[in-house]
Amino acid sequence: MADIVTPEKRSKMMAGIKGKDTKPEKIIRKGLFARGYRYKLHDKTLPGKPDIIFPKKKILIFVHGCFWHKHNCHLFKWPSSRQDFWKEKIEGNYKRDKENIKTLENAEWRVLIIWECALKGKTKLSEDDALNSIEDWIKSNTKEMQITGRECL
C-alpha cells in the first residue's frame, strides 16, 4: 500500500516522535515525584537508557511505547507499508530490549517496564492504580515486573 503523505511530510512526522520525555513518561514521573520519590533520568551509561533511575536502590523503570517495543496489545499493529523496514526495526528494538534487561539484571538492577497501554487507550489503568502498582513493586523485592493495561496479554 502506498503512503498517503509525501516523503517530506512523513520525514517531518517521524522526526517529531520523541524518544524521551513522552507523555506517559511524564505522567509517571509527576506521580512518583508527588509521592515523594526522587530519581535520575535517562542514564546513557546504562543499557537501554532507562527512563527513570533510582541509583541507591538499583531500580530502573522503562516506559515503553507499545508500537516501538512490540507489545501484544491493541496499540500495536504492524504497518501495512514498508513492511520489511518496519519488521527489521521493531524486531531489532524487541531483541535489544531483551538483551538489555538481561544485562541489567545480571548487574543486579531491578527492572520495571511500564507499557503505554497502561496509561493510554481502551485498556488504560487509572493513574492512581498505575502508581500504586509501581510503588508496591518498588517496596517489594521482585526483580522484574511489567505493568500493562487491563486485559493485555
pLDDT at 14: 59
What dihedral do alpha carbons 96, 102, 105, 111 form, nearest 10°? Answer: 50
Q: How many domains does the chain have?
A: 1
Residue range(s) defining the domain that contains residue 116: 21-147
Q: Which residue has the cell 538481561?
A: 102
Cell numbers given for 7: 516523503
The CA distance from 133 to 146, in Å, is: 10
The CA distance from 45 to 55, in Å, is: 12
| Residue 73 counted as domain residue | yes
Measured N-to-C along each axis, helices 127-139 and 23-34 cross at an angle, to the nearest 10 degrees, of 60
| Residue 7 counted as domain residue | no
| Residue 96 counted as domain residue | yes
| Residue 10 counted as domain residue | no
| CATH code at position 143 | 3.40.960.10
Q: What does the pLDDT average to over 54-59?
A: 96
At a CB cut-off of 8 Å and minimum separation 6, what does 116 contact? 24, 63, 64, 65, 66, 67, 71, 75
Percent of the chain with pLDDT over 70: 88
What distance, in Å, lies between the first and last C-alpha atoms of the chain? 29
Q: What does the pLDDT average to over 90-113?
A: 96
Q: Please provide the size of the chain in residues.
A: 153
pLDDT at 54: 96
| Residue 14 counted as domain residue | no
pLDDT at 15: 57
DSSP calls for 110-136: EEEEEEGGGTSSTTPPPHHHHHHHHHH
The tens digit of pLDDT for each residue in 9-31 reads: 766 665 556 666 788 899 999 99
Q: Is 64 helix (H, G, I), strand (E, B) or coil?
A: strand
- The bridge status of strand 110-115 relative to strand 59-64 is parallel
| Residue 8 counted as domain residue | no
Residue 6 has pLDDT above 90, yes or no: no
pLDDT at 13: 60
